[in-house]
Every structure is written in C-alpha cells, then in structure tokens.
Structure 1
Amino acid sequence: MTPAHGPDTAGSSLLSSVVEFRGGSAMIPASRDVVHGFVARLAERDVDLADTFPDAARLVASELVTNAVRHAPGPCRLELTLVGDAVEIAVSDTGDAFPTFLPRDPLRIGRHGLEIVTRLCGEVITKPNATGKTVSARLPLT
C-alpha cells in the first residue's frame, strides 16, 4: 500500500507531514512508517523527545487509522504537526459517525483504541468536515 502522496513540510517554522491513503488495511502499518519518518525529522531538528515518544506516536496513529479502516468507507488522511510541546496526530476519513467511547471493561477483548489514545494524549477531539470527520489528539513530546 503506497500513499497517494508523500510527506509534506508546510513551512520552515512548522513541521508537518500529510499523507493521503487510498484505503484498505495496509494503511495501518503504513501509518506507522509515516510516523517513523516524522520522528526522524523531529530528531534532525533537535526537538527534545521522551524515549517513549516514538512508540507512543506510532501507537496513537495506528489506533486512529485502524478506527478509520474499520468504521469509514474509503480513503483517509493522516496529518502530523508539531504544535508547541506536542505533536498533533489527526486522521480524516469519510465516515460521518463520531467515535464511541465504551465504558471501561478490563474483560473486553479489543475495542480499546480510544482508551489507549486518550490515556496517552489526554483527550481525543472529533470535528465534522465536508467529507466526513477528523479525529485528532495531541501527544506530548516529553
């Protein structure tokens, strides 16, 4: 699975990557590769990162893209943006239903993605857009 277009830097002071995925489950591991490249760019710019940041960022992106694959038809867009002392990880998809936070249930198998993202990022924000919705979370760098 290859993205429709590759990472893009939005400006010299703003570090971001945007990738449009065409669809399918291959978007999930591909999203982790995009995050890996973005983290490398952060390191090149000497951005101070916690040792746990790369794995946490890959997990958050992977969980958000997984939700897009499971609950929305068609393509999705992954955007990573350095915002102050955090990275905003946003996934836009074509689904119009907002994510559902299930009650905590340690016996439930699976469907813990939003719990994981919320635990790592503090909150998950969903906004409607012209073609569906965007789900985003900010992961602290340190």
Structure 2
Amino acid sequence: MREPEPSGREDAAPAGRAWQTSVALHGAGTDIAQARHLAADFLARGQAERGLRVSRRGLDLTQLVVSELVTNVCKYAPGPALMNLRIDGDVVEVTVWDSDPVLPVARGADADRVGRHGLEIVMAVAQGFEARLERCGKSVTARIALTDDPAGTHQGDPH
C-alpha cells in the first residue's frame, strides 16, 4: 500500500490566521502511524514558522485523536479517505472523511468490552465533536485545545 502523502493543500494564511493541510489515506495499517507523524510535523511547523503555542498535552491529545479516527477508517470504512488538519487560534480541528455513509456511534461504557473504545476516547478528550453525512460518505471532526496553561507550554520540537 502507498503511504499517505500531503495533498499540497496547505493554506498559506498569515500567522495568527487559520491554516490547514490534508492527506489522502489509502486504507493501509501504516496510515495510522503516518497520520500521527503528519499531525506532529504539522504542529511543529506551526511552532517554528508561526509561533504557535502547543503544549505537550495538546500534541499528545492531537496524536491520540488522529490515531483513533484514522484507525476507525482503516477498520470500518473501506475505500478512499482523507484527513484534514486545521488550526484556528489555539484549537486544531482533525477531520477525517471516508466514503462509508454510516455515522459512528459511541457505545456505553463497558469495562468488559475489548476494543471499540476509540470514539468514546475521542469524545472524552476533544473540546468538540461532530459526525455528519456528506454528499458522498461522512466526515468526523474533533476539536482539540493546543494549549492548557502557560506553564505547561512546550516550545521545543514536539517529537
């Protein structure tokens, strides 16, 4: 399977304004790790090129959400998919689109259930969550705060 490649859709908006990048996903298990690395690289570029403040927690939660959403696509939505990362102020929006028109549903808490907790995790750590039907398939968006408190801000390379 091919690796996800940036689509070239990175927005060149001035510092302080919304900007984004997108990547096509190919349904391979390697998409998960590569999407997580893309998210970390995107946030690192935001820090280096735009002075974006990203706490360690913001980076970790972004990578967790990316991992969970892309895992769901790889497991349950065969076909093409797209991940979009968009930063607006101190929030990153992670949107994953796939061609499956079935909206995800979070299950109730069940300590005995093995697996299938990803959506619950995303909804617990995100500031906002939305799943909606699209003209073709669906999109799932989670919004994650990039900073927590000024003392916890990580200014170095997020890797």
| TM-score normalized with structure 1 length | 0.91
Give the superposition deviation at 1:128. Answer: 1.2
Q: Between 56-65 and 40-49, report the one with greater CA deviation.
A: 40-49
Q: Structure 2: where are the runs of 5+ without partners?
A: 148-159
Measure the CA separation in 2 of the matches of 1:37 and 1:7: 15
Give the superposition deviation at 1:95. Answer: 0.6
Aligned equivalent of 1:134? 139
The amino acid that maps onto 1:56 is: L
Amino-acid identity (%)? 33
Aligned equivalent of 1:85? 90
Does structure 1 residue 24 correspond to structure 2 residue 28? Answer: yes
Of structures 1 and 2, the larger Rg is shown by: 2
Measure the CA separation in 2 of the matches of 1:80 and 1:126: 16
> Residue 4 of structure 2 contacts residue 35 of structure 2 at CA under 8 Å; is this kept in 1?
no
Does structure 1 residue 66 correspond to structure 2 residue 71? Answer: yes
Q: Structure 1: where are the runs of 5+ without partners?
A: none
Measure the CA separation in 2 of the matches of 1:51 and 1:30: 19
RMSD: 1.5
Q: How many pairs align? A: 142
Aligned equivalent of 1:3? 4
> Residue 128 of structure 2 contacts residue 144 of structure 2 at CA under 8 Å; is this kept in 1?
no
Aligned equivalent of 1:37? 41
Measure the CA separation in 2 of the matches of 1:71 and 1:87: 24
